[in-house]
């Protein structure tokens, strides 16, 4: 299991993570990934293992998701993320802004208000 405290295999280019200011989400624990959104908002591309919502949060151009939970796969994702655009990371984080969250809640509530209770509750 890869945890935040696991020492990963040496990277072929040890400077890759430092040069790119890459954030690494290597824990198998967690679900949504608030730290990932915070990293993106600061302009930091993210490398992560495929866990919880992380594959939905991270996309090409602003981060990379490892092919599996192995240290080698995460090292590959770090190299990809290190080459990503900081501006694209910031743009990607806007999907999770306060305004986007409120708009999403309003859409759900409008749908609920317009739908009969019997249609909302599935047996």
Distance CA 122, CA 80 (A): 43
Query: Which has more confidence, 47 or 14?
Result: 47
Domains by residue range for the chain, with CATH: 16-95 (3.40.50.2000)
Q: Mean pLDDT of all residues in the chain? A: 81
Distance CA 42, CA 67 (A): 25
For the whole prediction, is pTM greater than 0.85? no
The fraction of the chain above a pLDDT of 70, given in percent, is 77
Evaluate if residue 77 carries a pLDDT over 70: yes
Evaluate if residue 8 carries a pLDDT over 80: no
26: which 2 tokens?
A: 């290597």
In this predicted structure, what is the pLDDT of residue 5?
Answer: 41
């Amino acid at each position: 299991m890869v945890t935040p405290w696991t020492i990963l295999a040496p990277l072929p280019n040890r400077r890759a993570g430092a040069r790119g200011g890459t954030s690494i989400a290597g824990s198998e624990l967690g679900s949504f990934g608030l730290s990932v959104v915070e990293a993106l908002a600061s302009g930091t591309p993210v490398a992560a293992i495929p866990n919880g919502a992380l594959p939905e949060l991270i996309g090409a151009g602003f981060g990379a998701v490892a092919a599996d939970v192995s240290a080698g796969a995460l090292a590959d994702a770090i190299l990809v993320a290190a080459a990503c655009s900081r501006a694209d990371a910031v743009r990607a984080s806007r999907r999770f802004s306060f305004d986007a969250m409120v708009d999403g809640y309003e859409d759900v509530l409008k749908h609920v208000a317009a739908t009969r209770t019997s249609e909302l509750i599935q047996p």
